[in-house]
């Protein structure tokens, strides 16, 4: 079935599940959390939408969105600086209806002005906590074909303790129709969890949101997916391609480490389906005479004089002579002094590690050093 993706509007929730990443989102949105050496989480949904042919995208923010605005700029890097369509940032208090939302229903309602101006027939909604290279086109096609009211992109796999904080578990029949919904249940074994990506027709969504607001409803998951499960046709779309879902510091760390494996990196960074990000005009990375670098991802602007193994280095990281780093994620502009030793450490942006300083943690609990800190 051929779908006209020009008829689809995208809506990205930049703040959803902020709290799951702890201090990393203290001063920024989920969407502006750094990932994979040169990206911010929002690069993935935005690039996926653009690569799927969606050229009109709204980004709903709530708080802490200065860094997000800096990152997105005019959205030219995502090819979303358009006269027709393009990127719209939708902060709270943007209009009379828009306040600090308490849940997804109010968030969408706050963006109603933007949504109602669009001529799109369908809408794709997504959060920023799933890192993947997804094509929305077959999902929209399946949505139309199945005649569903709501299509929820989901994945069936092992249920972990981290899932407890955010998971929406779907029970489905053989046709993939959702028969009941559990919110953050205490389960174990294999479950079908929502990836927090939804497809709806515009008409259905607008009516449903207005109706829900009139009834004082807040949560899309609880008040719509769960409560109205039997009266609506909610379909689960089983997503089987490579993805990482972030819901804790640990899953964040592992998702980064996961793409050190070239197999996984190839699944995430697909030629002709590029992940776009802000350009920062760094010089190439420089490897010094005595450096040793193994199994690592390195961004431009890095200068490496020490030893680095199993690490992700963001732009402009400097590793001093004799420093030894293993299993670390170093945020943009982090400077590691000569002879320092680090193992299982995540540094935020612009961290300075003093020469000969030793910072070690464990695979089970990674140390996090906050933005601008000197240790």
Partner 1 sequence: MFNKKECVAMLLAGGQGSRLYALTQDVAKPAVPFGAKYRIIDFPLSNCINSGIDTVGVLTQYQPLVLNEYIGNGQPWDLDRIHGGVHVLPPYQKATGADWYSGTANAIYQNIGFIDRYDPEYVVVLSGDHIYKMDYNKMLEFHKSKKAAATIAVLDVPKEEASRFGIMITDDDDNIIDFEEKPKVPRSTLASMGIYIFTWEKLRAYLIANEEDETASKDFGKNIIPDMREAGEKLVAYRFDGYWKDVGTIESLWEANMDLINPNIPIDLYDPNWKIYSRNPVYPPQSIGKNAQVQNSMVTEGCVIDGSVEFSMISDGVIVEEGAVIYDSILMPGAVVKKGAKVEYAIVGENSVIGENCQIGARPETIEDKDSWGVAVVGHNLTISDGSNVLPKAIIYEDM
| Cα gap 335→356, rounded to integer Å | 13
Residue 142 · residue 134 · CB < 8 Å:
no
Phi, psi of 106 (to 5 degrees): -65, -35
The residue (of 162 and 350) whose beta carbon lies closer to partner 1 is 350
70 binds partner 1 (CB under 8 A): no
Count residues near partner 1 (CB under 8 A). Answer: 36
293 binds partner 1 (CB under 8 A): yes
The residue (of 296 and 347) whose beta carbon lies closer to partner 1 is 296
Phi, psi of 171 (to 5 degrees): -100, 130
| Cα gap 313→195, rounded to integer Å | 28
Residue 295 · residue 158 · CB < 8 Å:
no
The residue (of 92 and 301) whose beta carbon lies closer to partner 1 is 301
Query: DSSP state, 122?
Result: E
295 binds partner 1 (CB under 8 A): yes
- The C-alpha angle 210, 82, 88, rounded to 5 degrees, equals 35
297 binds partner 1 (CB under 8 A): yes
83 binds partner 1 (CB under 8 A): no
| Number of Cβ atoms within 10 Å of the Cβ of 188 | 9
Taking the complex as a whole, the smallest distance from the CB of residue 302 to partner 1 amounts, in Å, to 9
Among residues 213, 250, 269, 357, the one that binds partner 1 under rule CB under 8 A: 269
| Cα gap 126→236, rounded to integer Å | 15
Among residues 207, 288, 355, 374, the one that binds partner 1 under rule CB under 8 A: 288
290 binds partner 1 (CB under 8 A): yes
Taking the complex as a whole, the smallest distance from the CB of residue 364 to partner 1 amounts, in Å, to 23
The residue (of 100 and 279) whose beta carbon lies closer to partner 1 is 279
350 binds partner 1 (CB under 8 A): no
Find, among 219, 235, 140, the residue nearest to 178 by Cα.
Answer: 235
**Contact residues: partner 1, CB under 8 A:** 36-38, 76, 260, 262, 265, 268-269, 274-276, 279, 281, 283-301, 303, 312-313
């Amino acid at each position: 079935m051929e779908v006209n993706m020009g008829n689809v509007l995208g809506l990205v929730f930049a703040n959803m599940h902020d709290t799951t990443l702890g201090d990393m989102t203290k001063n920024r949105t989920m969407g502006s959390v750094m990932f994979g050496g040169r990206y911010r989480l929002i690069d993935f949904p935005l690039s996926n939408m653009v690569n799927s042919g969606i050229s009109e995208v709204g980004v709903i923010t709530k708080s802490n969105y200065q860094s997000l605005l800096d990152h997105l700029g005019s959205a030219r890097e995502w090819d979303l600086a358009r006269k027709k369509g393009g990127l719209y940032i939708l902060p709270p208090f943007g209009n009379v209806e828009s306040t600090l939302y308490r849940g997804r229903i109010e968030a969408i309602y706050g963006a109603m002005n933007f949504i109602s101006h669009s001529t799109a027939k369908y809408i794709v909604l997504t959060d920023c906590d799933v890192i993947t290279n997804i094509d929305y086109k077959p999902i929209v096609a399946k949505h139309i074909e199945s005649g569903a009211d709501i299509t929820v992109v989901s994945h069936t796999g092992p249920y972990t303790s981290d899932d407890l904080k955010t998971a929406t578990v779907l029970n489905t029949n053989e046709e993939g129709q959702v028969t009941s919904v559990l919110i953050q249940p205490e389960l174990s074994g294999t479950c079908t969890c929502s990836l927090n990506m939804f497809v709806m027709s515009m008409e259905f969504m607008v009516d449903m949101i207005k109706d829900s607001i009139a009834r004082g409803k807040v949560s899309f998951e609880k008040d719509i997916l769960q409560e109205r499960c039997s009266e609506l046709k909610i379909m689960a779309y089983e997503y089987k391609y490579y993805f990482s879902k972030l819901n804790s510091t640990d899953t964040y760390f592992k998702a980064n480490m996961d793409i050190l494996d070239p197999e996984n990196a190839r699944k995430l960074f697909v030629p002709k389906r590029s992940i776009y990000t802000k350009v920062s005009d760094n010089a190439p990375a420089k490897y010094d005479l005595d450096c040793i670098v193994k199994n690592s991802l390195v961004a431009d602007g890095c200068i490496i004089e020490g030893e680095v193994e199993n690490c992700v280095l963001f732009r402009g990281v400097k590793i001093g002579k004799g420093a030894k780093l293993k299993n670390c994620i170093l945020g943009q502009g982090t400077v590691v002094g000569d002879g320092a030793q680090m193992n299982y450490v995540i540094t935020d942006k612009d961290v300075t590690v003093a020469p000969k300083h030793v910072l070690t943690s464990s695979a089970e609990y990674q140390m996090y050093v906050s933005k601008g800190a000197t240790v």
